[in-house]
Amino acid sequence: MDYLVSIIIPAYNEEKTLQEIIGKVYDTDIEKEIIVVNDGSQDNTSLILDKIKIRYGLKIINLEKNYGKGYAIRKGIEQSKGTIILTQDADLETDPSEYKKLLGPIFEGKAKVVFGSRFLGSIKNMNKFNFIGNKLITMLANTLYGIRITDEATAYKVFLKEILEKENIELKSNRFEICAELVAKIAKKKYKILEVPISFIGRNKNEGKKLRLRDGFLSVWTLIKYRVSD
**70 closest CA partner among 182, 223, 205, 183:** 182
Angle between helices 128-145 and 213-228 (to 10 degrees): 0
Burial (0-12, 13-18, 19+ Cβ within 10 Å), 15: middle
**pLDDT at residue number 203:** 77
Cα R_g (the chain), whole angstroms = 16
Instruction: For the beta carbon of residue 42, count every other beta carbon within 10 angstroms.
Output: 11
**pLDDT at residue number 205:** 54
CA distance 174 to 69: 6
**pLDDT at residue number 60:** 98
**pLDDT at residue number 207:** 52
Instruction: Count, in order, helices (H) and strands (E) of the chain.
Output: 8, 7
**pLDDT at residue number 4:** 98
Asked whether 41 and 12 are in contact (CB, 8 A), the reply is: yes
Q: Is the pLDDT of residue 230 over 80?
A: no
Whether this model's pTM surpasses 0.85: yes
pLDDT band at 212 (very low <50, low <70, confident <90, very high): confident
pLDDT in tens, 10-39: 999 999 999 999 999 999 999 999 999 999
pLDDT in tens, 155-198: 999 999 999 999 999 999 999 999 999 999 999 999 999 999 99
Q: Is the pLDDT of residue 49 over 90?
A: yes
**pLDDT at residue number 86:** 98
Find all residues with CB under 8 Å of 18, minimum gap 6, and list them: 11, 36, 45, 48, 49, 90
CATH topology of domain 5-228: Spore Coat Polysaccharide Biosynthesis Protein SpsA; Chain A (3.90.550)
